[in-house]
Amino acid sequence: MNPRTPLLAAGLALGLVHAAQPGGAAPQLMSAPVAIATPQDGAGLVARLTALDARAGLTTDYGFRLGSQHPGVVGQKITRAQHTYKNLRVFGSEAVVVTNAAGDIVSVSSADRRPGLAPQASAPGGIVAPAAATPPADLTPALSGDEAIALAVQNVAPGASHRWPASAELLIYPVMQTVRTAAAVNQPAAQLNALDLEEVVQRYELAYLVQLRLARDGKVIYYDVVVDARSGAIIAKWPALQTVIGSGHSQYNGKVPISTSATAGGFQMRDPARGSGGKFGAMAITNANHSSPNNPDPGAVYSHTGNTWGDGQQYNGGSTTDANGQTAAVNALWGLMNTYDAHKNVLGWQALDGNNTATYIAAHVGTAYDNAFYDDSCKCMYIGDGNSFTSLGAIDVIGHEMSHGVTAATADLIYAGESGGLNESHSDIGGEMVEAYARAGGTGAQLPATGNDWMMGKEISRSGQPLRWMHKPSKDGNSPDAWSADLKNLDVHYSSGPNNRMFYFLSQGSKADPASEYHSPYLTRAPLAMTGIGNDKAYRIWFKALTTKFTAATNYADARGKVLQAAQELYGAGAPEAIAVQRAYAAINVGADIDEAGDGGGGGGEAVERVRNGGFEDGVSGWSGSTGVIGAHSGQAPYEGARVAWLGGNGRRGSETLTQQVQIPAGATSAQLSFALHLDTAETSNTVYDTLTVSLRPASGAAATLAIYTNLTPAAGYQLRSFDLLAYRGQSVTLSFAMREDRSKQTSFVLDKVSLLTK
């Protein structure tokens, strides 16, 4: 083994990977707008991803198609790479690729539904190896895209007109099935936790994804429809309209400062300080002037001879340009300004897409129109004057709709099932956080701890009853308070409920009294009343998970793991913030509860170390495989103690593996795997040559890859890596570190302090 001088970078990781930050570290901000990759840069990134696939034995049938690109945390960029099979996109299958300022891959988090790779369904209650479901043998469609569109329109809204041109994308559609994990096969249905179930592929279909943006009878009808490309049958469909359902003088906020632009004839509601480009070259409010909701025309930017706007009263049905008609525009502009400022000043996120692209809101859509909605086709928002409601321009409603724009530009959560509920929940969360920021004056680099009412749409309600209660979603009569296996079958405005409650508990905490609306029966550890971490920390954690970790198909169980990763990256693996995430999700039946105090979050119960000799101080004891890599090596300093496991560093073709079998108790409420890894290399090209694969193999079933580290991005010093293994409770698993090195130029993967703590 050849000692090398460490190079400055971070390790490449595939899967649930992060480097823990010290508990006192300042929260990371999001990066400034990023440059969209040139064709050459994009091709280079695809080549590196393809090289990783090739190292895993995948053929050229598998590929990548680059999607959206947006900022990550400071110094990083996020690229969403869609998985393809024989040049067709696999729906819901993608990789979230994090690169640094030099363009090096830092990490890749995947939702892999590709044929031959995704978990497949077999008999009820079990999962078999990935050969069970195969792609369609014939990838030639029997229908044209236009025929698929016609069938979709006939199914959704016959006779409707196209507000935006329809599209039909030929792709491979995985038909998913929910199955129980091995540990939960015999568990009563009422006792199932979100982590007891898995989404697996039942079969693949060649299909068209038809996106319809229709209008009929004064209503916009947006649907995504999956049409069988061979038979024309409708495989799936879901609504795609992201809606709230149901100095200026603002109707809801009194006299407020608004940012306008001077013109030759006076002023207009156009704010060039917040965003650039877009339809109007800057953030703007327009007058739709009762344009039909069938096909609303945003109209012109609001203008006025003076710079005092509105009368603060509900619109009376008269002129849309006099003082009373201007009030809806004041509501909209103040709301949009605070949405922009809250995200930029607190998080560093600029506009909806993070790249500072300007948006606009069109006021006075329709006549007595009871809706407000975000339209990603124009990346804008439309506001009605209300009938059963008052004007739909309240601050939380605007924050809600604009947050749909953030989701569309980042995770783009599929607007159906559990992912659709998370999509809606992010908008409710965003609306509440914007409200808190605005009520405190709309300035500062932190979200205030108070100021929002935790009720979505209360101000626009003529009855005083909000649309949704964040702390107790079931108060609306439709939304559940906790996860259940039926959650995916609900309308997304109701399946958002449990995650809304999770966020409330994460921020504000819960109550121990079972009679309280703020109590969760799923919190059974000490203390029964969990402690919240406040709006600011809660939203930083949530926002980072959404924008840099979630994939389009993320469900509640996946969200828990990724929100926990974000908390651990920001505040540390054993930090109170990370503990609060676990408790907040446990409060809605997603994961098990843990105690708040002591031993990194275990509290009343002692943490038990499941890895034997994880620091290698007892030589090879506990380890199997290439145990000759363990020792005190002069060329590599340990993370702690005197010994390490130095895999690689040989500069010649070879492989080395260390394994250890560990048991995760069935009653575990926490299972955290962690290790310290140092990586240095003599390789200089952008090609993957040397890899370290970290995996788990259960006693039965296929191995699961936790992470792959490569020569592409070495690191100065040790990086702490951490994984949540609670999903493996009740199982004996083999932990494996497997190194492969090519024929020349060494790469060293140096391990220390391997630990699996369970509670």
pLDDT digits (tens, 9 = 90+) for 280-297: 999 999 999 999 887 889
pLDDT at 23 over 60: no
Over the Cα atoms of the chain, what is R_g?
27
- Distance from C-alpha of 161 to C-alpha of 298, rounded to nearest angstrom: 18
pLDDT at 437 over 70: yes
pLDDT at 638 over 70: yes
Instruction: Report the chain's terminal Cα–Cα distance, integer Å.
Output: 38
- Alpha helices, DSSP H, located in 35-108: 39-55
**Minimal CA–CA distance to 98: which of 74, 114, 65?**
74
- Distance from C-alpha of 154 to C-alpha of 737, rounded to nearest angstrom: 54
CATH fold label, 248-385: Elastase; domain 1 (3.10.170)
Q: Is 395 left (phi over 0), alpha (psi -120 to 50) or beta?
A: alpha
Mean pLDDT, rounded, of the chain:
88
> pLDDT of 331-387, one tens digit each?
999 999 999 999 999 999 999 999 999 999 999 999 999 888 888 888 899 999 999
pLDDT for residue 79:
95
- Distance from C-alpha of 262 to C-alpha of 266, rounded to nearest angstrom: 6
Query: Domains of the chain: which residue ranges?
Result: 1-8+607-759, 120-240, 248-385, 414-605
Supply the DSSP string of 411-464, one letter for each residue.
T---SSHHHHHHHHHHHHHHHHHHHHHHHTTS-SSS--SS---SEET-TTBSSS
- Distance from C-alpha of 273 to C-alpha of 285, rounded to nearest angstrom: 14
Q: List the structure tokens of 717.
A: 């010093």
Q: List the structure tokens of 127.
A: 């999962």
Question: What is the mean pLDDT of the segment spanning 506-529?
Answer: 96
Question: Worst-scoring range by mean pLDDT, 434-448, 539-553, 716-730?
Answer: 716-730
Question: Worst-scoring range by mean pLDDT, 48-62, 609-623, 682-696?
Answer: 48-62
pLDDT band at 55 (very low <50, low <70, confident <90, very high): low
Give the right CATH number for 414-605 from 3.30.2310.20, 3.30.420.280, 1.10.390.10, 1.20.1440.230: 1.10.390.10
pLDDT for residue 164:
87
pLDDT for residue 717:
80
**Residue 157 burial (CB count, 10 A):** 17
Q: Is 266 left (phi over 0), alpha (psi -120 to 50) or beta?
A: left
| Long-range contacts from 59-66, C-beta under 8 angstroms, 24+ separation | 61/85, 61/86, 62/114, 62/117, 63/87, 64/95, 65/89, 66/37, 66/42
Q: List the structure tokens of 182.
A: 């091995």
CATH of span 1-8+607-759: 2.60.120.260
pLDDT band at 12 (very low <50, low <70, confident <90, very high): very low
Question: Worst-scoring range by mean pLDDT, 209-213, 247-251, 380-384, 447-451?
Answer: 247-251
**Minimal CA–CA distance to 562: which of 175, 107, 192, 104?**
107
- Distance from C-alpha of 759 to C-alpha of 754, rounded to nearest angstrom: 17
> pLDDT of 554-581, one tens digit each?
999 999 989 998 998 888 877 899 999 9
- Distance from C-alpha of 241 to C-alpha of 72, rounded to nearest angstrom: 27
pLDDT for residue 27:
63
pLDDT for residue 416:
94
pLDDT for residue 134:
84
pLDDT for residue 687:
86
- Distance from C-alpha of 523 to C-alpha of 583, rounded to nearest angstrom: 7
> pLDDT of 119-177, one tens digit each?
665 434 433 334 447 888 899 999 999 999 999 999 999 999 998 899 999 999 999 99
Q: List the structure tokens of 589.
A: 């039946």
> pLDDT of 723-753, one tens digit each?
888 888 888 999 999 999 998 899 999 999 9
**Minimal CA–CA distance to 555: which of 187, 228, 230, 92?**
92
pLDDT for residue 248:
79
Question: Worst-scoring range by mean pLDDT, 396-410, 685-699, 713-727?
Answer: 713-727
Which helix H or strand E contains 404, and what residues bound it? helix 395-409
> pLDDT of 391-426, one tens digit each?
989 999 999 999 999 999 999 999 999 999 999 999
Q: Are 748 and 676 in contact (CB under 8 A)?
A: no
Question: What is the mean pLDDT of the segment spanning 457-475?
Answer: 92
Find the largest Cα–Cα distance for the chain.
85
| Long-range contacts from 423-426, C-beta under 8 angstroms, 24+ separation | 423/242, 423/492, 423/496, 424/242, 424/492, 424/493, 424/495, 424/496, 425/496, 425/497, 425/499, 425/500, 425/503, 426/542, 426/546
